[in-house]
Amino acid sequence: MKRNTGTDDETVRADGATATDWTDEARAPDTSELAGEGLVLGYPATDEPVLDGETVTATPGAVTALVGPNGSGKSTLLKGLANQLEPTDGSVLLDGQDIRSFGTKEMAKKLGLLSQESTSPGSISVEDLVFHGRYPHRGFFETVTAEDERAVDRAIELAGVDHLREREVASLSGGQKQLVWIAMVLAQETDVLLLDEPTTFLDLHHQLEVMEIIETLRDESDITVVVVLHDIEQAARLADRMVALKDGEIHARGTPEEVVTEGLLAEVFEIDAAVERTERGPRIEPIRARHDDDEPDAVHERPPRMEADE
């Protein structure tokens, strides 16, 4: 697996690889910065906001992972950043400009979102679905241009679904579907890409496929990626920067090495775990669930704090 990353001091890996090949392109000024400032986010059904005044910045051209336990507000934060959820206070800035000032199509050319649950009519072909990713680039009556076809071809190749091109989406496995949906947002050719738990519910093979796509994006393009991941080990392996949330508050942010520590796992995820540094990033060995009274062995389900999220 390639581990080419930027040369920012903070993204130096445990293995010491600080590849410089991509630096100039990857950190070129045309990368986009996405930042949420003082975000207060909640759902109409509940009075209390899920997030109450959090500030988060996605490093341009890098992968930022949002992690946290169920109900920590990580998906809510992503929805806020994607403008799917209107913040009651604070604002989301894309390259310093409030995203509410963009037109809907203008916005969709800059920022793509892969939601957790995507539905499509079953009989649509993979290729047709990926072509929908070109929606923001086309006028109302415009037909497909060579540029659209090139973007679709690239997206399909990058997502590795070329062999599925003519298949009907309904006939695909869950993992294949997810790759196709990723191809669709890639065809959108945005500067910023937001992914909401892209690996959850997938088998290991497809989890790794998805992670490889994100790695390729990080290594070979200027795209700024923000990804919500359930699996903290996966996040540590994939991300340049990590943001750990608990109860709607950001508890830690920094490189995976800084964030993934035994102390943080105890505090945010309420588990005792051993963290081991390996050349593929930190490896976590969960030992037991922590409880307030810290009784040993008992691992029972905690009620989710907020049903609105996740």
Partner 1 sequence: MDDTMSNEQRSVGPDRTATPGGTRLGWLFDRNLVSLAVLSTLLVVVSGIVQVSHGPFRMSYAEVGRSLTDQRVLFDVEVWKAFLLGHELPEMSNSNLVVWYMRLPRVLVGVFVGANLAVSGAIFQAVTRNELASPFILGVSSGAGAAILLTFVFLGGLVLYLPLIAAAGGALAFLVVYTIAWKNGTSPVRLVLAGVIVGTIFTSLQQGMFFFLQDISVAKSARAWTVGSLIGTDWEQIRMVLPWSVLAVVLALAGARQLNVLLLGKNTAKSLGMNVERVRFGLSSVGVLAAAATIAVAGIVSFVGLIVPHMVRNIVGSDYKKLVVGCLFAGPALVVSADVGARLFFQMLGSRGQIPVGIVTGLVGGPYFLYLMRKQEALGNI
* Total interface residues for partner 1 by CB under 8 A: 48
Residues 64-93 that bind partner 1 (CB under 8 A): 82, 84
Mark the segment that binds partner 1 (CB under 8 A) among 21-29, 30-38, 114-122, 267-275.
Answer: 114-122
Residue keyed to tokens 């990353």: 5
226 binds partner 1 (CB under 8 A): no
CB of residue 124 vs partner 1: minimum separation in angstroms?
6
When the beta carbons of 153 and 249 are compared against partner 1, the nearer one is 153
160 binds partner 1 (CB under 8 A): yes
When the beta carbons of 184 and 268 are compared against partner 1, the nearer one is 184
136 binds partner 1 (CB under 8 A): yes
Mark the segment that binds partner 1 (CB under 8 A) among 93-101, 213-221, 274-282, 299-307.
Answer: 213-221
Cα 11 to Cα 9: distance, rounded to the nearest angstrom: 5
- H or E stretch at 228: strand 224-228
Sheet holding 241-246, edge to edge: 111-114, 192-196, 224-228, 63-67, 241-246, 249-254
Residues 93-112 that bind partner 1 (CB under 8 A): 104-109, 112
When the beta carbons of 105 and 288 are compared against partner 1, the nearer one is 105
Mark the segment that binds partner 1 (CB under 8 A) among 67-75, 89-97, 140-148, 275-283.
Answer: 140-148
Cα 14 to Cα 42: distance, rounded to the nearest angstrom: 38
3-state secondary structure of 206: helix
Inter-residue contact 264 to 282 (CB < 8 Å):
no
When the beta carbons of 23 and 115 are compared against partner 1, the nearer one is 115
Cα 35 to Cα 94: distance, rounded to the nearest angstrom: 6
The binding track of 21-60 with respect to partner 1, each residue x by CB under 8 A or -, is: -----------------------x----------------
When the beta carbons of 147 and 258 are compared against partner 1, the nearer one is 147
Cα 194 to Cα 224: distance, rounded to the nearest angstrom: 9
CB of residue 159 vs partner 1: minimum separation in angstroms?
8
128 binds partner 1 (CB under 8 A): yes
Inter-CA distances, 304 with 6, 96, 301, Å? 38, 36, 9
Could you give the dihedral angle defined by the CA atoms of residues 151, 82, 235 and 225, in that order, rounded to the nearest 10 degrees? 40
When the beta carbons of 105 and 291 are compared against partner 1, the nearer one is 105
Inter-residue contact 67 to 242 (CB < 8 Å):
yes
Query: What's the angle, vertex CA 62, arms to CA 26 and CA 260, rounded to 5?
Result: 145
188 binds partner 1 (CB under 8 A): yes
Exposed, middle or buried by CB within 10 Å (0-12, 13-18, 19+), for 74?
A: buried
When the beta carbons of 214 and 268 are compared against partner 1, the nearer one is 214
Interface ranges with partner 1 (CB under 8 A): 44, 82, 84, 104-109, 112-113, 115, 118-124, 127-128, 131-133, 135-136, 138, 140-141, 143-144, 149, 152-153, 157, 160, 162-166, 185, 188, 209, 212-213, 215-216
